[in-house]
Amino acid sequence: MKNNFIADVQWPPQNPVDLFHPEHVLKICAPMVRYSKLAFRTLVRKYGCDLCYTPMIVAADFVKSVKARDSEFTTNRGDRPLIVQFAAKEAHTLANASCLVSPFADGVDLNCGCPQRWALSEGYGACLINKPDLVQDMVRQVRNQVENPSFSVSIKIRIHDDITRTVDLCQKAQAAGVSWITVHGRSIDERHQPVHYEEIKIIKESLSIPVVANGDIRNLKEAENVCDMTGADGIMVARGLLANPAMFAGYEETPLECIQDWVDLALRHGTPFTCLHHHLMYMMERIASKHEKRIFNVLSSTSAVLDYLKEHYGL
């Protein structure tokens, strides 16, 4: 299944920018550490997801290590359109990593939003929103080095307390040739506070490229409301899709068919038990009783999970 660097799996590239359309809000699966891997991307695509991101990959490790490339990036022919998200702090490193994945993906995204302490201490993630000139240079170097003109270069950001600084960052990125910008409507220090959707609207109105809204979108109705509030061209969802991978197809909670699809895909892709189990714990959060969850969440093997699903849900 790990065929990501074999020449014969190359296929005609797509231009993700063409997916944005005035009459269609783009539905996007966010980059999620450990979770938005190939099997899960395949699942959400079946239920109405238009575009998927890989988990964040540290570009420097990816460039230096074949082992890192094999473990961090796996794809196949059906995994399109696909954006590879990188954590990077040097333009040439991001450009080199982008060249490596360009035959096998449709674009790259620079993470300028991760607020975790380790990322900030290493110069990655959200600290880049305070370095607009560096972000500009990184976008330009990817543009200059990747030969495919349809290959997209996007950034995912958090906002400043002073929105004028965020607008300046976005306009500089736009001038450098960024394809679109995803805005998580919280600052670096905010975790569970309400999302500042009005700030996303200000950013959208200041740019001529697509803007994607991100933050606390748990169902299709909320996605529609966020688009109405912000004018965003797309919505990106993380935890909402973990809880209900069929969200974009209009389901209020995970249907049993989707749970069966996940089990089938996870087994087919050789997904480790911990990952298979964790996804199911998220999916069953709204449909299982407290008693059922107490039992299910401590199961310790794939066979035990399969037996439980068969006994309680007929799967």
Catalytic residues, which ones?
Answer: 114
What is the phi-psi region of residue 277: left when phi exceeds 0, alpha when psi lies from -120 to 50, beta otherwise? alpha
Contact 62, 69 (CB under 8 A): yes
* Neighbouring residues of 60: CB distance < 8 A, sequence distance ≥ 6: 88, 90, 93
Six token digits for residue 178: 């960024």
Q: Annotate the chain with three-state secondary structure.
A: CCCCCCHHHCCCCCCHHHHCECCECEEEECCCCCCCCHHHHHHHHHCCCCEEECCCEEHHHHHHCHHHHHHHCCCCCCCCCEEEEEECCCHHHHHHHHHHHCCCCCEEEEEECCCCHHHHHCCCHHHHHHCHHHHHHHHHHHHHHCCCCCCEEEEEEECCCCHHHHHHHHHHHHHHCCCCEEEECCCCCCCCCCCCHHHHHHHHHHCCCCEEEECCCCCHHHHHHHHHHHCCCEEEECHHHHHCCCHHHCCCCCCHHHHHHHHHHHHHCCCCHHHHHHHHHHHCCCCCCHHHHHHHCCCCCHHHHHHHHHHHHCC
